[in-house]
Amino acid sequence: MILVTGGAGFIGANFVLDWFACEHEPVVNLDKLTYAGNLGSLSSLAGDERHVFVRGDIGDADLVRTLLERHRPRAVVNFAAESHVDRSIHGPAAFIDTNVVGTFALLDCVRAWWSEQPADERATFRFLHVSTDEVYGSLGPDDSAFSETTPYAPNSPYAASKASSDHLVRAYHHTYGLPTLTTNCSNNYGPRQFPEKLIPLMIVNALAGKPLPVYGDGRNVRDWLYVGDHCSAIRTVLAHGRVGETYNVGGNAERANIDVVRTVCRLVRERRPHVDCERLVTFVRDRPGHDRRYAIDATKIRRELGWTPAHTFETGLARTIEWYLDNGAWLASVQNAEYRQWVELQYA
């Protein structure tokens, strides 16, 4: 079996569901259930004995040690993280606590347990750490895309905290021999994403007839990766990646934010003709220190492991919008008072 941390969040929940669609191994799912963690995303697994959910913190060494000793996983896949740049600007402490201190505590506990296992089990064990392209900083319009050898230059508290966690993972491999793997992905989108990120926020506001807030001039560029493709990449790296290596995962879909919003508007209107999204687009004060462009060079994972994304941006976005339109109950459940207050504060 495998131990997944942060498996009730956006990418983690999609990974757990994808895992059971493709694999037979059980999953122990450890998640703290912060504001972005949602067991409703895993409702289809209710009663499935392969899925064991444990509410808890990766920084709780006693709990992690108990889970390792009880279940003896052959791998740990670490999604657990605070992950929203905007929230890190307003409150960076939580990002240091989870992404740096929490990752350290998890690594140290796993290392201690792993070192006590028989040699054959130590050799086949893997610790896969899921990270972000934001650790590399910002690109100019003509700069080459981020590769695995791009120097780190994080510009937000979130990016700095993830860079720190990446360095810890690297250090635990080189110092202690812990068999680690790291993936750095581009901007994910897809079903079950908490609607504070760009694409689900645009869908939610469009359906409600509310303004669609776009930072600055809307020309900030991101490489967009459908979450299902990201999940397949993680499974591929876990199965075939070289120990100690990093693999960049991208969607081959660079888009300016304003173009993303306009595509969302077009696809929503195709399905809901009465919703006139374009008139709702509203440019708002830019995010402090807003990185201008990210782009991923995914040559390494394609060349070494044969992975490429299965979805274009348009096909992935169409699937995403269909999911949100078909899952109004899930969407309503996450738009609580705290969520509404956050959106009002951020885009006032």
DSSP 227-263: HHHHHHHHHHHHHHPPTT-EEEE--S-EEEHHHHHHH
User: Residue-wise pLDDT tens for the chain (348 aa)?
Assistant: 999 999 999 999 999 999 999 999 999 999 999 988 999 999 999 999 999 999 999 999 999 999 999 999 999 999 999 988 999 999 999 999 999 999 999 999 999 999 999 999 999 999 999 999 999 999 999 999 999 999 999 999 999 999 999 999 999 999 999 999 999 999 999 999 999 999 999 999 999 999 999 999 999 999 999 999 999 999 999 999 999 999 999 999 999 999 999 999 999 999 999 998 999 999 999 999 999 999 999 999 999 999 999 999 999 999 999 999 999 999 999 998 888 888 888 887
CA dist., res. 38 & res. 31, Å (int):
9
Residues 6+ apart with CB under 8 A from 67: 3, 28, 30, 54
Residues 6+ apart with CB under 8 A from 342: 87, 196
Residues 6+ apart with CB under 8 A from 156: 85, 88, 89, 134, 289, 291
Which residue do the tokens 């440019």 mark?
A: 283
Give the pTM: 0.96
Q: Pick the catalytic residue from 31, 57, 82, 133.
A: 133
pLDDT of residue 103: 98
Q: Which two tokens stand for residue 294?
A: 């990210």
Q: Pick the catalytic residue from 31, 134, 166, 291.
A: 134
Give strand ranges (E) for 179-321.
Answer: 180-185, 187-189, 212-215, 221-226, 246-249, 254-256, 281-284
- 158 tagged catalytic: yes
Q: Pick the catalytic residue from 158, 189, 215, 226.
A: 158
pLDDT of residue 338: 87
Domains of the chain listed by start with CATH number: 2-190+227-252+290-312 (3.40.50.720)
CA dist., res. 138 & res. 146, Å (int):
9
pLDDT of residue 346: 85
CA dist., res. 182 & res. 164, Å (int):
13
pLDDT of residue 245: 98
pLDDT of residue 155: 97
Cα torsion angle, 69, 40, 22, 173, sign: negative
Reference 98, options 110, 84, 116; nearest CA is 84
Q: Which two tokens stand for residue 268?
A: 């929503």
- 133 tagged catalytic: yes
Reference 218, options 277, 287, 155; nearest CA is 287
